[in-house]
Every structure is written in C-alpha cells, then in structure tokens.
Amino acid sequence: MKTYTNVFDLGDLKTALAEAAEIKQDRYKYEALGKHKTCLLIFFNNSLRTRLSTQKAARNLGMDVIVLDVNQGAWKLETERGVIMDGDKSEHLLEAIPVMASYCDVIGVRSFARFESREDDYTEKILNQFIRYSGKPVFSMEAATGHPLQAFADLITIEEYKRTERPKVVLTWAPHPRALPQAVPNSFADFMNEADVDFVITHPEGYELDPQFVRGAQVEYDQKKAFEGADFIYAKNWACPGVTRPEDYGKVLCKDRSWTVDTEHMSWTNNAFFMHCLPVRRNMIVSDEVIEAPTSLVIPEAANREISATVVLKRLLQAL
Ligand code: AN0
Ligand code: CP
C-alpha cells in the first residue's frame, strides 16, 4: 500500500479484518518492521484520538514518531501557489512538504475541509499536495472529504459486535451547533458500501452526501423508518455537502433536535448498538442515557483506532 485515503486502498476487506484481528491478538507482532523508520504526523487541526492512537500504532511497529502541530510553533503555511506572500504566512507548503518529508519515511496528514471552496475540498487540494510533493507514503488522518482510519476502526468494531451475518447499519445525521465536515460520514459510507452489511443513510433534506460515497446505499429521509430493525446506529453531524444546492456548501441548514438520538429513537431499532466517532456533544447528537447504555460502543470504537492505524502503518511499511 502506497497511500491510504479510502476503502479501496485496503483491497479485500475480509483480509484487512483478519489482519486487524491478528494485530489485536498481539499488537507488537510486527515490532521489527519499523526499526529505524520514522513516522511524521502533521496536524492542521485539533485531535485527541487520532493523535494518540496513531502514535501508539507507530510505536507498536517499532517506529520513531514525530508530531507536528502546524498551527502551534511552526511557521504559518501558505497553501496557494502564485500568491504574493506579503501577509502573515512565512512559508509555502511547496517548500515545507519536501523539507518535512526529508526527515521521515511515512507521513500522516490531518487537514479538515475549510468550507471556502467545495472544489478545493472535494479535490483534496492539501492532502494531494503531500502525496505529490513528499515522495513518501502518505495516509489520511482525516482530510477534507474522508477519515478512513476512523471508518476502518468502525468496520472492525461492527465485525466484533455483530449478532447476525449481515447486520443492518444506519448512518444518521444529528444536530450540532457548528458546521462540521463530511469526512466521517463520507468514509463511513465508503466502507459500509463495500462491507457485508445492509446500509441505510438518513438525514434531513438538503444534507445529501456526495454520490461518490453514497453509491448504491439506501437513503431514507424518515429517520424512524430508517431506524426500524437496525442493528447498529452510527450518528454524526455534517454540514451541507452542497450536492443539490452548491451555494449551501458548508452551511448549517437544520438544528432540529428531534434528530438527536435518544432512548425513544433507539426503541425503534432491533436493540441496536450505538456508535459515534467522538468527540461528541451530548444531548445534541446523543442523549446521556444512550451514550452511557451498555449498547454504546463509543469507547471500544475509539480503542480500535489503534488497531486500524497499526494495520495501515504495517502495510505502508511493508511496501517501502
Ligand atoms: C471533526 C469532524 O466532525 O470532522 C472530527 C471528528 C473526528 N469534529 C469536530 O470538529 C468536532
Ligand atoms: N475520532 C477522531 O478522529 O477523533 P480526534 O478528532 O480526537 O482525533
């Protein structure tokens, strides 16, 4: 594997899940693989889970790790070519990328959607510059349109907890006070569409996800209908993807708290497990009762981030 940005980079999912189970049995099994290899993690945005679990994964593989918070202590980076740099940005990404790449063997990048231009976000302008100019294997730690380490951890969690061969998995939009990216729901859909599950997406009108991620999934605008018979409820807020109305891209169109997942919502399901990538705003996305219930998987899901990252880094190292 040379890059990791979406489900197709993983190839056969059964093989990837078997590798995840193997790593979970013995997370240091491939400790020799990363000797004298350095993993650089670059954060343009905040993180708790990704920051910790990816460092842990790199160490599981015997790698050295360098973490850089671009906005804290590094020079402010210009990302647009052709700009006259007379503002507050001291360095251009086009120099910074090869410099950073010269100190490492593998690069992880976190760079959220900026919501300034749908085209810039959906062409992954920042992540692709890292892929193009670093000459090193690059993996996404949540870029503008995807969060594949999260979605792989989610798939591992569903595999561990499913009670039927082909569970019904529902991705539901839920309200949030601020505009959040579509990366998490996009990648979740990307993975579920390739997994052995019945996948349904539910959200208010106007929140349609990009067709490249929805693919053949069933979209149901009635949240109650969508929840019927569900084995897993995966909640997430996202701002308007601008699919039907490009001018609404990145806007908060709805704050309807009837979409908040509470015990009544969960009573419509087949005693479903509750999932969320975290961080989560309680009583906006999910009620205290639902997130604290024994059917809540948010903690094991976060713990599986170490496993998904270990598998991905292992594969990147094996291809060096
Ligand atoms: C981010 C998002 O929604 O993409 C990160 C989630 C893993 N969440 C926030 O910014 C609160
Ligand atoms: N789920 C997730 O990626 O969390 P962080 O933003 O804290 O890394």
C-alpha 276/C-alpha 298 separation (Å) is 6
> For ligand 2, what atom is nearest to the CA of residue 53?
8
Q: Which residues of 263-273 are buried (b: 16+ CB within 10 A; e: fewer)?
A: eebbebbeebb
As a whole number of angstroms, the distance between CA 73 and CA 159 comes to 41
What's the length of the chain?
Answer: 320
Residue 229, pLDDT > 90, answer: yes
Q: Is 150 in the pocket of ligand 2 (CB under 6 A)?
A: yes
Rg (CA), the chain: 19
How remote is the CA of residue 278 from the centroid of ligand 2, in Å? 6
Question: What is the tens place of the pLDDT at every residue in 136-154?
Answer: 999 999 999 999 999 999 9
pLDDT of residue 142: 98
131: confidence class by pLDDT, cuts 50, 70, 90: very high
Say yes or no to pLDDT of 73 above 90.
Answer: no
Q: Is the pLDDT of residue 172 over 90?
A: yes
CA of 85 to the centre of ligand 1 (A): 30
What tens digit of pLDDT does each residue of 233-265 get? 999 999 999 999 999 999 999 999 999 999 999
| Atom 4, ligand 2: residue with shortest CA distance | 49
Q: Is the pLDDT of residue 3 over 90?
A: yes
Determine the atom of ligand 1 nearest the C-alpha atom of 277: 7
For the chain, how are helix, strand and coil distributed in percent, rounded to 5? Answer: 40, 15, 45
* Burial class (CB within 10 angstroms; exposed 0-12, middle 13-18, buried 19+) of 238: buried
Q: Does 303 contact ligand 2 (Cβ within 6 A)?
A: no
Dump pLDDT digits (tens) for 262-312.
Answer: 999 999 999 999 999 999 999 999 999 999 999 999 999 999 999 999 999
Q: Ligand 2 mean position to 86 CA, how many Å?
A: 34
List all residues whose CB is within 6 A of at least one atom of ligand 1.
142, 180-181, 183-184, 277, 279
The rounded distance, in Å, linking the Cα atoms of 196 and 219 is 18
Q: How far apart are CA 54 and CA 59, in angstroms?
A: 9
State residue 224's pLDDT score.
98
Name the strand (E) or helix (H) holding 69. strand 64-69
Considering every ligand atom shown, identify the ligand nearest to the alpha carbon of residue 54 and give its number: 2
Nearest to 154 by CA among 254, 301, 313: 301
Indicate whether residue 280 lines ligand 2 (CB < 6 A). Answer: no
Q: Nearest CA to 259 among 235, 289, 232?
A: 235
State the closest ligand 1 atom to the C-alpha of 281, by its place in the atom list counted from 1. Answer: 11
Nearest to 53 by CA among 312, 308, 314: 308
Question: Per residue in 184-220, pLDDT tens?
Answer: 999 999 999 999 999 999 999 999 999 999 999 999 9
Average pLDDT over residues 28-38: 98
What separation in Å is there between the alpha carbon of 147 and the centre of ligand 1?
A: 10
- The residue-averaged pLDDT of 19-42 equals 98
For the chain, percent of residues with pLDDT exceeding 70: 100
What span, in angstroms and rounded, lies between the C-alpha atoms of 206 and 192? Answer: 22
**pTM as predicted:** 0.98
For residue 145, give the ligand nearest its CA.
1
**What per-residue confidence (pLDDT) applies to 203?**
98
Ligand 2 site-directed mutation target among 42, 45, 48, most atoms within 8 Å of CB: 48
